[in-house]
Structure 1
Amino acid sequence: MGASILVADDDRAIRTVLTQALARLGHDVRTAGNAATLWRWVEEGQGDLVITDVVMPDENGLDLIPRIKRIRPDLRIIVMSAQNTLLTAVKAAERGAFDYLPKPFDLKELVGMVQRALTTPTAAAEVPLSAAEPEEEQLPLIGRSPAMQEIYRVLARLMGTDLTVMITGESGTGKELVARALHDYGKRRNGPFVAINMAAIPRELIESELFGHEKGAFTGATMRSTGRFEQAQSGTLFLDEIGDMPLEAQTRLLRVLQEGEYTTVGGRTPIKTDVRIIAATHRDLRTLIRQGLFREDLFYRLNVVPIRLPPLRERTEDVPALARHFFQTAAAEGLPLKSLDNAALERMKRYRWPGNVRELENLVRRLAALYSQEVIGLDAIEQELTDATPSAAQAPEPANEGLGAAVERHLREYFAAHKDGVPAAGLYDRILREVERPLLSLSLVATKGNQIKAAHMLGLNRNTLRKKIRDLEIQVVRGLK
C-alpha cells in the first residue's frame, strides 16, 4: 500500500518532480507552496510523511518541525534546503527531522530516503538529541561542495551521540574544527573541550599529560598534577595526531576505552572517566599497524565512526566562500576589509593548495594586511602563489603529461625529499593507496554514488569495490548534479 506524503516547497518545479516520482511508486502526494497549508494538513491528521523546504514565503520550515513534533511525534519529516551549511543540517537534526537533503538533490537518493523513512522502526531511527539550539553567530565549517555536504550530514547525525570518532585528513584540512563542532553542537556542549596534540609532547611525558601523575611519581614531580582525562570530565577529549602516540601510551589508552577507568602515573586508585573521545590523524594508521607502530585493537576502538576530510584541492568550489569568510574574520580583528576580483578567484581555484585551508587562511590574512587596494586582482595573487611555491614539487604540472610520467615525476620528488634518498618502510602500499583512493572516489562521483555502475566501469567485482571503499574509508557522496 502506498503512503500519504505531504510536500511543502515554494518551487513549483520541485513540487511537480516530487509528485511524479513518488506517485509512480504508488504514493498519494499532496503539495503546498507554503508552510501554513502544510501545518493545516498536519493538524487535521493527514500524511504519513512530510517533505519540507526550509525557506518558504510565510515561515521557516525548520521552525515548523517542533510544532509538528509536539502534536504528532511519530510523523517523519525530511528537510530539503539550498542553505547548505553545517548549521542547517544540525538544526534539522536537533529539531527532530528524520533526515536532511541539500539542494540540488539526486532524485534516486530522495526516493531511497523516503522509503527508509516509511519503513524504519521508530525506536531504531530516533536518536536522543540535546535540547539547546546552536547559536548562529559563526559557522565552524565553511563550504557547500558535495564533499562538505556529506560531512555536514554525518556530523548532524552524530551530534546527539557519544560515539567515538576518528577524523582523518591532510594537515590543514580542519580536523580540530570538526572535533570542536561535534562538541559545541553536541550533548556535551556544557562540558569542557580539551585538546592534546601527541606530536607536540615529548614521548616520555605523554602518559603524564593524559592521565596525570602523583607527587614523587618521577624526578621533578613535586606535586600532584591532573591529566587531560580528568580535565575533560563530562566533556570531550580530542586526541590530535593519534598516530604519533607511543605504544606504551596506546596500551593504557586502550584500557581506558575498554574499562572506563584509569590510574595516574604513580597512582594505585582507579579513577572513573566520563569523556567522549575524538581522535584525528594525517597518517595512514593501517600502514602503521602493519609496521607494528600502532595497535590494531586500539584502532578499532577509535575508528567507530570514521570521517575523512577532503583536501582543499578536492573541493576548490569552496575557495571563494572560504576566502570571503577569512577576509571578514580579518576585518573583525582590525584589518581592512578586502575582496577578490573574479580573475583572482579563478586563479586561486586552479591552485593545488598543498597547505589546504590553513594555507588559504594565511594567504587571505597576508592580502588583507599588506595590500592597499580594496579589490585584489590577479597580479597580486600570481605573485603570492609564486612566492608560496619555492620547490619544484609544487610547480605547475607539465601539459599533456601522461599518467605514468606524472607518477614517475611525483615519485622522484618524493625520494628527493628524503636526505638519504630512502623513504620509510611500506612505500609500495602507500603509493597504491594514494592512486587507488582518488581513482575509486572519482569513479563514484562520475556514477553519482552508484556502486554497481562504478564497479562495472572499473572492471571490478561489486563486492571487491565495496571492500575497497570500506578499507580506504571512502565516503560515497550522492546527489551530484
Structure 2
Amino acid sequence: MTPTVLIADDDRSIRTVLTQALGRSGYQVRTTGNAATLWRWVEDGEGDLVITDVMMPDENGLDLIPRIRRVRPDLRVVVMSAQSTLMTAVKATQRGAFEYLPKPFDLRELLAVVDRALAAPTAPVGEQPPAEPKDADERLPLIGRSAAMQEIYRTVARLTTTDLTVMINGESGTGKELVARALHDYGRRRGGPFVAINMAAIPRELIESELFGHERGAFTGATSRNQGRFEQAAGGTLFLDEIGDMPQEAQTRLLRVLQEGEFTAVGGRQPVRANVRIIAATHRDLRAAIRQGLFREDLFYRLNVVPIRLPPLRERVEDIPLLARHFLDKARGDGLPFKSLDSGAVDRLRAYRWPGNVRELENMMRRLAALHAEETITADALDRELTETAATVEDASGETAEPLARAMERHIKQFLAAHEEGLVGNDIYDRVIAEVERPLIQLTLLATRGNQIKAAAMLGLNRNTLRKKIRDLEVPVVRGVA
C-alpha cells in the first residue's frame, strides 16, 4: 500500500514543491495551509507521516507534536522551520519530532528523512519524550543560520535525549564550552551541576587530585578530604576542556573510570560511583597526538562516541552580521552605548579572517561599543580597528611589521645565505624555533602579568612544559607587571 504523507505549511510554494517531489518518489500527498485541518486528518486516522511547519496561522506546529503522539504514537512527525535556531531544534526533538529540518531545506535530504521515518520501527506504546526544561526560553546560547550551525543544532537536539559521551573539536574561540553547556542545559541531567575543568590550566602533579579528589594525608599539604570534579558533578555533567593536554598517567586513570564506572580518591580505598555525563573538548588533532604517542588511542575511542566539529568563523561567513549585531545588543544590555553597523562595516567584517573566531568578534564589538564615538560604526572605523588587530601591527620603531610568515621566510633565507659555504652545526631547526618561541612566551607572560597558569592556557601548553621552556630558553620571568 502506498504511504500517505500529510503536509501542513502556510506557504503555497513549499506545499507545491513537496507535493511534486514526494509524488515523483511514489508517495501519496495531502496538503493544507493550517494546523486545524492537519489535526482533523490525524484524528481520522489518515496519513502515515506528518511534515509540518512551525509557524502557521492558527497554531504553532510544535504544539501539535505532543497531541499527535498521544492519539497516534506510531505516526512520525517531521518539523520544518525558517526560525533555524537551537531552541527550535531542541523543542522539536524534545516534544517528539522524528526529525527537524531548517528552511531552506535540501529536497534530497528531505526525501531521505521521509524514507527513514517510514522505515523506522514503531515506538513502544507508552514511550514518551523527556520533559522540556521548565525554564526553557528563547535565550540563544548559540547563534547562526549557516548550514554548518544548523547541523550542530540538530546534533545537539538529538543528544539532549541521551547521556552519550561527546567530543567537541574546534579552534580556540569557536564556542566549545557553549555547546557543552547547551548539551547540559537542555539534556536529561539539567537538574544536576555542570562542572568544567581545563586540563591545560592544572599543574600536572595536581590533575588526579582535581579530578578524583583526595583523602586527608594523601600527600604533603592534604590536611583534609577534598572532593574532586567527578564528585562535584554527580548527577550532572563533567566538561573536560582541552583534554588533549591531559598527562598520560591521568589519561590511564580516566580510561579506567570510563571502563569501570567508578573511581577512588587519591589516597583512598573506597570506590565511588561515577554518576556523570562526560563531555570533552579540544583544539588539538587527537589522531595526530595518538600517532605521536601523546594520547591514548583507547581513551580517544571512549571519549569520541559522538564527535562534534565546531567550524571556525571563516567557514560560516554568513553568520558574521547576525553575530556582530547580537554582540552589540548584548553590550547595550550591559550598559554600553547603543551602536549599529552600516553596510560597509558589515562587508569588512565578512572579509576578515577572524583567527580568534567568535570570541575575537565579540571582543571587538564590545570594544567598539565602548570606545567608538559615533552611533554608527562605519567601514573606515572597522578598517582602523582591523588594521590594529591584524598581523600588520606597528613595531617599536613605528614601522609597520610584516606578516609573521613573510618575516620568517625572509629571516630564514638570510640565515641560509650567510652559510652558503657550509651550514654551521646540525641544529638549525632548534635555533630557528627557539627564536620564535622565546618572544612568544615572553610576550604571553607579559600579557598575563607573569601568571604562568594563564600563559600556559593561552599557549595551549601544559604548565610543566611551559616552565621547562622558560628555563631552557632563559625567558625572563615577569611578576606582577602593571
TM-score normalised by length of structure 2: 0.81
Give me the identity figure in percent.
72
Whether contact under 8 Å (2:339, 2:369) holds in the other structure is yes
Deviation sequence 1:323-362 (CA, Å, 0-9, x none): 1111111111111121111110011000000000000000
The number of equivalent residue pairs is 408
Counterpart CA distance in 2 for 1:70 and 1:11 is: 27
Alignment pair present for 1:278 and 2:269 = no
Q: Which residue of 2 aligns with 1:144?
A: 145
Cα 1:128/1:171, change in 2 over 3 Å:
farther
Which amino acid letter does the alignment assign opposite residue 389 of structure 1?
A: A
Which amino acid letter does the alignment assign opposite residue 142 of structure 2?
A: L
Q: Which runs of 5+ in 1 are unaligned?
A: 393-405, 424-481
Cα 1:73/1:411, change in 2 over 3 Å:
farther
Aligned with 1:63: secondary structure?
helix
Q: What's the CA shift for 1:372?
A: 2.4
Counterpart CA distance in 1 for 2:410 and 2:122 is: 55
Q: Which residue of 2 aligns with 1:234?
A: 235
Give 1:282-301 correspondences, 5 Å limit: 282-301=283-302
Which amino acid letter does the alignment assign opposite residue 18 of structure 2?
A: L
Alignment pair present for 1:318 and 2:319 = yes
Give 1:108-123 correspondences, 5 Å limit: 108-123=108-123
Alignment pair present for 1:98 and 2:109 = no
Q: What's the CA shift for 1:25?
A: 2.1
Aligned with 1:155: secondary structure?
helix
Whether contact under 8 Å (2:168, 2:309) holds in the other structure is yes
Q: What's the CA shift for 1:41?
A: 0.7
The worse-fitting range, judged by mean Cα deviation, of 323-332 and 236-245 is 323-332
Alignment pair present for 1:69 and 2:93 = no
Whether contact under 8 Å (2:95, 2:132) holds in the other structure is no
Which amino acid letter does the alignment assign opposite residue 431 of structure 2?
A: D
Q: What's the CA shift for 1:411?
A: 9.1
Q: What's the CA shift for 1:63?
A: 1.1
Which amino acid letter does the alignment assign opposite residue 218 of structure 2?
A: A
Alignment pair present for 1:182 and 2:193 = no
Alignment pair present for 1:86 and 2:86 = yes
Which amino acid letter does the alignment assign opposite residue 99 of structure 2?
A: D
Which amino acid letter does the alignment assign opposite residue 220 of structure 1?
A: G
Counterpart CA distance in 2 for 1:365 and 1:356 is: 15
Deviation sequence 1:154-198 (CA, Å, 0-9, x none): 111101100000000000000000000000000000000000000
Counterpart CA distance in 2 for 1:411 and 1:101 is: 47
Cα 1:415/1:215, change in 2 over 3 Å:
farther
Counterpart CA distance in 2 for 1:110 and 1:145 is: 18
Aligned with 1:421: secondary structure?
helix
Cα 1:349/1:127, change in 2 over 3 Å:
farther
Give 1:134-213 correspondences, 5 Å limit: 135-213=136-214
Q: Which runs of 5+ in 2 are unaligned?
A: 394-402, 414-428, 435-482
Q: Report the structure number with the largest CA radius of gyration.
A: 2
Which amino acid letter does the alignment assign opposite residue 3 of structure 2?
A: A
Q: What's the CA shift for 1:302?
A: 0.2
Q: What's the CA shift for 1:412?
A: 4.7
Q: What's the CA shift for 1:26?
A: 2.0
Q: Which residue of 2 aligns with 1:221?
A: 222
Whether contact under 8 Å (1:127, 1:161) holds in the other structure is no
Q: What's the CA shift for 1:409?
A: 6.3
Which amino acid letter does the alignment assign opposite residue 421 of structure 1?
A: V
Deviation sequence 1:406-465 (CA, Å, 0-9, x none): 9x969959999x983349xxxxxxxxxxxxxxxxxxxxxxxxxxxxxxxxxxxxxxxxxx
Which amino acid letter does the alignment assign opposite residue 98 of structure 1?
A: F
Counterpart CA distance in 2 for 1:276 and 1:317 is: 33
Counterpart CA distance in 2 for 1:111 and 1:288 is: 40
Aligned with 2:50: secondary structure?
strand
Q: Which residue of 1 aligns with 2:387?
A: 386
The worse-fitting range, judged by mean Cα deviation, of 358-367 and 372-381 is 372-381
Whether contact under 8 Å (1:129, 1:161) holds in the other structure is no
Alignment pair present for 1:35 and 2:35 = yes
Counterpart CA distance in 2 for 1:193 and 1:390 is: 37
Q: What's the CA shift for 1:74?
A: 1.2
Cα 1:83/1:411, change in 2 over 3 Å:
farther
Alignment pair present for 1:420 and 2:421 = no
Deviation sequence 1:44-101 (CA, Å, 0-9, x none): 1111100001111111111111111111111100001111011111010010000011
Whether contact under 8 Å (2:81, 2:102) holds in the other structure is yes
